[in-house]
Amino acid sequence: MRAVRIHIIGTVQGVGFRPFVFRIANEEGLKGFVRNTPDGVEIHIEGVDGFDGFISKLKRAHPPNARIDKIDVVEVQPLGLKDFTIETTREGGATVFAPPDLFTCNDCQRELLDPSDRRFKYPFINCTNCGPRYTIIHGLPYDREKTTMRIFKMCPECEKEYSDPLNRRFHAEPNACPECGPSIFFIENGHRMRGGLERAVETIREGKVLALKGLGGFHLVCDPFNKDAVMRLRRLKDRERKPFALMAKDIEMVKEIAFISPDEERILESASRPIVLLKKRKEIWGISPGLDTYGIMLPYTPLHYLILQEFPLIIATSANLRESPIMKDESEGVEEISDSILTHNREIAVRCDDSVVKVFRGKPLFLRRGRGYVPDPIILPISEKKSGIIGLGGELKNTITILKNNYAITSQYLGDMKDYRNLKYLEEIINHFKKLYDFEPEVYVCDLHPDFTTSRLAERSGKRILRLQHHIAHVFAVLAEHSVLPDSPILGVSWDGMGYGEDGKIWGGEFFLIKGPKVLRRIHFDYIPQPGGDLAVKEPWRMALSFILRAHGRIVKKGILEMVDNKKLESVKKAVERGVNAPLTSSVGRLFDAVSAIAGISPLKIDYEAEPAMKLEAVYEEANEVYTYEINEDRIEVNGMIKELVEGNEPPSVISGRFHFTLAKIILDVANFIRRNYNVKKVVLSGGVFLNRVLLELAVPLLENNGFEVLYPMRFSPGDEAISLGQVFYASLYGG
Ligand code: ZN
Ligand code: ZN
Ligand code: FE
């Protein structure tokens, strides 16, 4: 007779872990108990044998949504227990593991469509393996009392399931049924009725735009094959060309309209149910004009499944006003952007957008990290135990990150902080995290930029402040997710649209040499005027003109510049020459704008961020020839490339091919150049430019084949959503 205590740290609460432990203990004939602890679960098992079998099942066969970070096993005295029990009492203290929202599992899907089941067509069916989590939680440990399900008292039958360790709904906190749980409501022309699913389906058939309440907020839903409906949605959302996400009934439907690799299929079907960008097979008018991909997801709530019984495919795009947060309650103005509303009375505790990914080498590349992934923590490789650091990020595409017991917890995408509604959202989340994680900020990390609202927020806190340059934060975010310390020299490539530089200029084409806290800006793209400042981002022809003026010394009309009137061109030329409202930038994002404009495929005025670069990526065809560039002591200069582009007459696909290849070669050249003087083995790729899959597909193997180890983002976005994580990692290492 012997006994062991097993302590597990990881995402093991709210994912059906304890019933699983109960089951395997019984299978192995072991007695004991399992209980939740602040950072995981504790298991006591005793018996004569079966220990090895138990532990190997624990490691191999645990529920799909559980994640084990650490297992400690110690030998203890047997207690002479008679059976194996699940202790439901909880120890105090908040954990760092709030589970992310999970899609409706296959068992629940089956019951949903089974006329003999008591939850037939019940839109809130769930079990321990699935259902809402993060978006209904007010506090930890995860308990019904701390969720928005608190107001629904379980009926005797639900209660029975909830208390039975062998039931799939044992301690399923949002457990509900038509007798006792939430209900749906349909609102049309100011009239509100209970139920109304059939009428909601009808309105979609009529070509109307339905606002549908989901997990983290409302979607706007309409029929993608109805041109008028699509145009109406574009008017309501005030978006001319921004791609709309699609939700497909099943994988067969996905395959009809898009190409999909096995890796993409796996991620599309994963419990996180992200929107996956897939290559178009069939063009559907107006969904993602000018791009070669669709963003597609599978249903993830019971209500989605019910609606997709009626349609093979719907548009399901976030319901929000331009540049403002996703709406989570019909009182937030949902009726102004829709024709009718299908809502429910299970309150959303915290709003959260759908996640959007591309797939690169079998891993997600996050365009947006939200529902299904947030708030999964990562453990940082720091030696002493630390808490109390908060990173407020930058300004665009912002998130916050907190550090608690060496775990970094990054929030969902919060949007652009220039808009006060998004800033309010950020404050909402800071307060939410404080409560959820019992977190008290001691150190605030913010951007160098003096005018960012987040920098001011840090200043108002009265706490200690640390400022970190934007692009350095980008590199540290990637180091954090790979658990890599910069204790030997690392080359940090940081390319994006813009970030405030240490010299007050706009950075965005940076190569850093990093060793410990020392960061040397070793090489960067040569500065060039950005005529009109922010306006140049909206009107990409301005950057094209700026590059042409430098390369040719005069105006040469090429690509979309031919559509700009001469007066405008002349006045921008003057502004550039006099240096009026033409800040200097080293941004690769702006170089993308210029090349896309010279190639003639960028619009005159963009409708969404990075549109010129995305269109350039969309027309890519493989090329093996580079454009001319020079790497001087500390600058990269591309006048030769601009001349070749302007004087050549290549089609956009060739321009795209050569341009992407050139950028990959520049990274390799710089890496080799730096390796000659320093012992650099690792290259970090960071910044929003690396959302470009073509560039990753070219640069990563090129570097690897030359003996470099390449670290690129796969758990967080390459873009500004990861700034707060980089800030927290840097501060935890070097913030004192
Ligand atoms: Zn389920
Ligand atoms: Zn019930
Ligand atoms: Fe950035």
Give the distance (Å) from ligand 3 centre to CA of residue 90.
Answer: 42
**Of 235, 490, 481, 461, the residue nearest 339 (C-alpha):** 235
Give the distance (Å) from ligand 3 centre to CA of residue 494.
Answer: 8
Q: In this structure, what token pair is assigned to residue 353? A: 């957008």
Cα(224)–Cα(264) distance, integer angstroms = 22
Cα(191)–Cα(602) distance, integer angstroms = 45
pLDDT, tens digit (0-9, with 9 covering 90-100), for 401-434 = 999 999 999 999 999 999 999 999 999 999 999 9
Handedness of CA 165, 169, 173, 177 (dihedral sign): negative
Cα(656)–Cα(695) distance, integer angstroms = 11
Can you give the pLDDT at residue 431?
95
pLDDT, tens digit (0-9, with 9 covering 90-100), for 100-146 = 999 999 999 999 999 999 999 999 999 999 999 999 998 877 889 99
Can you give the pLDDT at residue 580?
94
The strands making up 401-404's β-sheet, listed across from edge to edge, are 378-379, 407-410, 401-404, 389-391, 443-447, 464-468
Q: What is the mean pLDDT of the chain?
A: 95
Cα(525)–Cα(547) distance, integer angstroms = 12
**Of 223, 200, 206, 137, the residue nearest 173 (C-alpha):** 137
Q: In this structure, what token pair is assigned to residue 708? A: 């470099």
Neighbours of 279 (CB within 10 A): 13
Buried b (16+ CB within 10 A) or exposed e, 374-401: bbbbbbbeeeeebbebbbbbbbbbbbbb
CA distances from 24 to 2, 21, 56, 109 (A): 17, 5, 10, 26
Give the distance (Å) from ligand 1 centre to CA of residue 364.
Answer: 24
Q: Looking at residue 587, what DSSP letter applies?
A: -
Q: Which ligand is nearest to the CA of 718?
A: 3
Please give the average per-residue pLDDT across 350-361, as a whole number.
97
- At 3, the amino acid letter reads A
CA distances from 483 to 225, 348, 380, 735 (A): 46, 33, 6, 18
Can you give the pLDDT at residue 398?
96
Can you give the pLDDT at residue 506?
98
Give the distance (Å) from ligand 1 centre to CA of residue 12.
Answer: 16
Q: Looking at residue 123, what DSSP letter applies?
A: T
- Helix/strand/coil (H/E/C) assignment for every residue in 317-370: EECCCCCCCCCCCHHHCHHHHCCEEEEECCCCCCCCCECEEEEECCEEEEEECC
Can you give the pLDDT at residue 121?
98
CA angle 572, 573, 575 (to 5 degrees): 60
pTM: 0.95
Distance, C-alpha 10 to centroid of its chain: 21
- At 204, the amino acid letter reads I
Cα(347)–Cα(337) distance, integer angstroms = 20
Q: Looking at residue 688, what DSSP letter applies?
A: G
Among 60-69, 396-405, 497-506, which stretch is predicted with the lowest mean pLDDT?
A: 60-69
Give the distance (Å) from ligand 1 centre to CA of residue 270.
Answer: 14
Beta bridge partners of 35: 42
Percent of the chain's residues with pLDDT above 90: 90
Neighbours of 208 (CB within 10 A): 21
Residues 6+ apart with CB under 8 A from 47: 1, 2, 3, 28, 29, 30, 31
Cα(305)–Cα(298) distance, integer angstroms = 9
E-only strand ranges, 377-459: 378-379, 389-391, 401-404, 407-410, 443-447
Instruction: Name which residue leads in pLDDT, 726 or 405.
Output: 726
pLDDT, tens digit (0-9, with 9 covering 90-100), for 212-258 = 999 999 999 999 999 999 999 999 999 999 999 999 999 999 999 99
| pLDDT over threshold 80, residue 38 | no
Which stretches within 464-553 are classed as H helix?
A: 470-481, 535-538, 541-552
Class of residue 282 by CB neighbours under 10 A (exposed 0-12, middle 13-18, buried 19+): exposed
Q: Which ligand is nearest to the CA of 105?
A: 1
Q: In this structure, what token pair is assigned to residue 201? A: 């389906």
pLDDT, tens digit (0-9, with 9 covering 90-100), for 249-295 = 999 999 999 999 999 999 999 999 999 999 999 999 999 999 999 99
CA angle 5, 9, 11 (to 5 degrees): 130
| pLDDT over threshold 90, residue 87 | no
Residues 6+ apart with CB under 8 A from 261: 359
3-state helix, strand, coil in the chain (%, to 5): 35, 25, 45
Can you give the pLDDT at residue 662?
98
Give the distance (Å) from ligand 1 centre to CA of residue 125.
Answer: 7
E-only strand ranges, 596-667: 630-631, 635-637
Give the distance (Å) from ligand 1 centre to CA of residue 177.
Answer: 13
pLDDT, tens digit (0-9, with 9 covering 90-100), for 91-104 = 655 577 888 999 99
Q: In this structure, what token pair is assigned to residue 462? A: 């009265």
CA distances from 567 to 201, 464, 603 (A): 53, 51, 19
How would you classify the pairing of strands 184-188 and 191-194?
antiparallel
Neighbours of 452 (CB within 10 A): 22
Give the distance (Å) from ligand 3 centre to CA of residue 588.
Answer: 11
Can you give the pLDDT at residue 236?
96
Please say whether the beta carbons of 253 and 283 come within 8 A. no
Percent of the chain's residues with pLDDT above 70: 99
Please give the average per-residue pLDDT across 667-680, as a whole number.
95
Can you give the pLDDT at residue 94?
59
**Of 595, 587, 524, the residue nearest 559 (C-alpha):** 595
Give the distance (Å) from ligand 3 centre to CA of residue 589.
Answer: 10
pLDDT, tens digit (0-9, with 9 covering 90-100), for 456-470 = 999 999 999 999 999
**What residues sit around ligand 1, an ion, with C-beta below 5 angstroms?**
105, 108, 127, 129-130
Q: Which ligand is nearest to the CA of 107?
A: 1
Please say whether the beta carbons of 585 and 527 come within 8 A. yes
Residue 639 three-state SS: helix
Give the distance (Å) from ligand 1 centre to CA of residue 296.
Answer: 22
pLDDT, tens digit (0-9, with 9 covering 90-100), for 556-605 = 999 999 999 999 999 999 999 999 999 999 999 999 999 999 999 999 99
Q: In this structure, what token pair is assigned to residue 438? A: 């019992």
Cα(339)–Cα(252) distance, integer angstroms = 30
Q: Which ligand is nearest to the CA of 690?
A: 3
Whether residue 224 is preceded by a cis peptide bond, meaning omega within 30 degrees of 0, is no
Please give the average per-residue pLDDT across 440-464, as a whole number.
95
Give the distance (Å) from ligand 2 centre to CA of residue 176.
Answer: 5
Q: Which ligand is nearest to the CA of 127?
A: 1
Give the distance (Å) from ligand 2 centre to CA of residue 297.
Answer: 30
Q: Which ligand is nearest to the CA of 108?
A: 1
Confidence band for 165, pLDDT divided at 50, 70 and 90: confident
Q: Which ligand is nearest to the CA of 161?
A: 2
Can you give the pLDDT at residue 88?
74
Can you give the pLDDT at residue 90?
64
Q: How far apart are the first and last CA of the chain?
A: 50
